[in-house]
Amino acid sequence: MQIEALRGQKPVQALTFWGVRGSLPTPKRDNLGYGGNTSCLEIRSADNEIAIFDAGTGIRNLGEALMRQSQGKGLKLHIFLTHYHWDHIQGLPLFAPLFQAGNEIIFYASERLGSIQQHLGGQMNAPYFPVKFDEVAARTRFVEMDAQSVAVGDLRVRSFPMYHPQGAGGFRIESPSGAIVYASDLEPGQGELDRVVREVADGADTLIYDAQYTPEEYRTHRGWGHSHWREAAAVANDARVKELILFHHDPSHNDDLLTELQNQTRALFERTTSAREGMVIEYP
């Protein structure tokens, strides 16, 4: 795995990218440098509590790694979902810890999006999957959050609204020494919500931001619920963040193009990186 260190204060122990692609998996040769799995992040606190953000196809590999690391001991995992579009939940039926007795998995999402249990169960009902969601071996709990924040070890996680078809919620993750903001699946140009994301991201150590399109592509994709690298740089500058990570890469964007877009963004915000599957940011 690629190891990268951020400048300045270190908000958590480690941030790992298990899936960085948007819309659908893209296991193509010219995409594999940055990765073809859909959205999934893992954040470990300084006391080794595990928070997972989105359950795209990247969560399958994360699940296998967690099972190896646990060596048969029970896991307690916290999974935060931005929304229920398929690319953000489609890995969950193949997430190994879900099928291990003794594990506890707590799911969180905005209450504005409806019942977590009902939405996650829908994709595992017959004829789509052979095991029903309410029959898995792990203990499951569901927390619908909006105004309140929740604690995961020494992390504090709060949700904020984003403009996206059928709704979505981003997350600000704070620790005693800093903050990460996860803002995937949002579209700019919505006045109040544009203000909210800048306010929430203000001063963050790391901003992970939806940059699915180029500015040219965005002109023909208005209303699809995604942003572009130029807007990502604008938010990073306005919010005075320390590091910008471009995320939710379009299926049509190969490795060469993602590197080019990263470099174009650096002309507007120098400390920019295109998210890469397997990338680990450590905070010693």
Each residue's pLDDT expressed in tens, for the chain with a length of 284 residues: 233 333 344 555 789 999 999 999 999 999 999 999 999 999 998 888 999 999 999 999 999 999 999 988 999 999 999 999 999 999 999 999 999 999 999 999 999 999 999 999 999 999 999 999 999 999 999 999 877 899 999 999 999 999 999 999 999 999 877 799 999 999 999 899 999 999 999 999 999 999 999 999 999 999 999 999 999 999 999 999 999 999 999 999 999 999 999 999 999 999 999 999 999 988 65
Question: What are the φ/ψ torsions at residue 135 (nearest 5 degrees)?
Answer: -110, 5
Question: For residue 24, what is the domain's CATH number?
Answer: 3.60.15.10
Q: How far apart are the first and last CA of the chain?
A: 17
Per-residue pLDDT at 12: 59
Q: Which two tokens stand for residue 100?
A: 């291990």
Ordered DSSP codes for 176-199: TTEEEEEE-S--S--THHHHHHHH
| Total of domains in the chain | 1
Per-residue pLDDT at 5: 36
Per-residue pLDDT at 284: 55
Beta-bridge partners for 174: 156, 179
pTM above 0.75, yes or no: yes
Query: What ranges make up the beta strands (E) of 125-242?
Result: 139-145, 150-152, 155-162, 168-175, 178-183, 206-210
Question: How do strand 50-53 and strand 168-175 relate by DSSP bridges?
Answer: unpaired
Residue ranges making up the domain that contains 193: 3-282
Exposure of 223 by Cβ count < 10 A (0-12 exposed, 13-18 middle, 19+ buried)? exposed
Exposure of 198 by Cβ count < 10 A (0-12 exposed, 13-18 middle, 19+ buried)? middle
Per-residue pLDDT at 282: 81
Q: Are 172 and 179 in contact (CB under 8 A)?
A: yes
Q: Please count the other Cβ atoms lying within 10 Å of the Cβ belonging to residue 85.
A: 21
Tell me the Ramachandran region of residue 54: left when phi exceeds 0, alpha when psi lies from -120 to 50, beta otherwise: left
Q: Please count the other Cβ atoms lying within 10 Å of the Cβ belonging to residue 192.
A: 8
